[in-house]
Structure 1
Amino acid sequence: MRFCLEGLKLPEEAVLFRGTREGIHIYLNDEVEFPSVVDSLEQRLATSQNFFQGARVVINTGRRTLSADQMATVSQILNRYEGVQLVRLEQSKAAQKQSNSEMTALVVEKPVRSGQQLYHPGHIIVIGDVNPGAEIVAEGNIVIMGAL
């Protein structure tokens, strides 16, 4: 079976790469189990390391909503390659509307210190400063009311 992202027909591959003016779009097949997608992504990046040096990358997850752990996994894979910059994570508009309406918010009313990691499957609102070296990962929006 083929899968479709906003009208774009994709082959049965777990991962598809497309070059655009913005950088490289990596489409993750939402019909393939996530571990298979991760394996395919690692394999494709490893076989063409030089191609991705200095690349700006946009990840499109289709209808799949990634958990905080899954987002961290994808981010860690990309961080292994020098100069690869993750610009943003996208999903289909239908999935965004559905997932945003179901998400809860985590409100943190204190500074996030260097070395601290915040993961939440919804939105994160930080009322306080976020110091360099802190990591915040959320499936939803991240709002910081303080210095970044």
Structure 2
Amino acid sequence: MKNTVILKSYKDGIAIYLDDTLEFEQLCLDLAQKFRDSARFFGDMQVAVSFEGRTLTQEEENILVDTITSSSRLQVLCVIGKDAGLQNQFSNAAETARYFAQKSANGDDGQFYRGSLKDGQILETEGSIVILGSVEEGCSIISTKDIIVLGRLAGNAYAGGDGRDHHFIAALEMTPQKLKIGDFKYKTKESRLWAGRLRKGQPQMACVRNGEIQMQSITKELLNELPV
């Protein structure tokens, strides 16, 4: 019998190879069975995951994540993009997700939003926010403080609505249409260059430096410099 779902375990992550010819409903059943069979092996780990071998819509990706969590004791921190060097990506993504989840949980005004913004949705919030999903093209997230997207930021993000420019925007995959922090905007024509310049799956942070919005790769060293 053909193995339609193959799991490859890394430290902090699991690469999931999916059959690209199977009906999606059957694939979900096979995925659920695979994780039920592996539940004792994985235990209650916190992991990043990647889906390989098949092109998925955001909705399908969300369904697969829900299938994994309902069929095991795993906590899926985030989904990373396809690229080489999966071990480093899993470690960076998991470290980033844990840090920002803790930062939001420790703050008095931090909020979580589980799910992805799509179909032109606009989400406005007081205080900082952690999006447990993606922000698709044409959608916007607006916050008075910081914005953290534990997924892909492909739409618009406006942080620092309180007028201060020390806030930041972070995402596990950063290909935005427009960014604004305080009174500083990133030019749309330049933002197109990000898609080709940034490595998919590499967490990135946008913040104001020297009077302009600059992008930094998120590393353990950078996280250690930030207050919790």
TM-score, structure 2 as length reference: 0.39
SS at match of 2:143: coil
Identical aligned residues as a percent: 17
What corresponds to 1:19 in structure 2? 9
Deviations 1:44-81 (A, max 9, x none): 111221222205242223241x2232122112112323
Q: 1:90 to 1:48 in 2, by over 3 A?
A: same
What one-letter code is carried by the residue in structure 2 that aligns with 1:56?
V
- Quote the Cα distance in structure 1 between the aligned partners of 2:27 and 2:150: 20
Equivalence map 1:1-148=2 (5 Å)? 12-52=2-42, 53-64=44-55, 66-80=56-70, 81-91=72-82, 107-108=120-121, 111=124, 123-129=137-143, 141=154, 143-146=156-159
1:31–1:47 distance in 2 versus 1, CA, 3 Å: same
Larger of the two Rg values belongs to structure: 2
May I ask how many residue pairs the two structures share in their alignment? Answer: 117
> What is the one-letter code of the residue matched to 2:20?
D
Please, what TM-score do these two structures have when normalized by structure 1? 0.56
Q: Moved runs in structure 1, 4+ residues, more than 4 A?
A: 105-110, 136-140
Relative contact order (alpha carbons < 8 A, sep ≥ 6): 1 or 2 greater?
Answer: 1
8 A Cα contact 1:57 1:85, kept in partner? yes
- What 5-or-longer segments of structure 1 have no aligned partner? 1-10, 94-104, 131-135
TM-superposition CA deviations, 1:95-133 (whole Å, max 9, x none): xxxxxxxxxx8555551699xxx988x525414129xxx
d(CA) in 1 for partners of 2:58, 2:26: 18
Gaps of 5+ in 2: 85-117, 161-168, 170-228
For 2:7 and 2:120, the matched residues in 1 are separated by 36
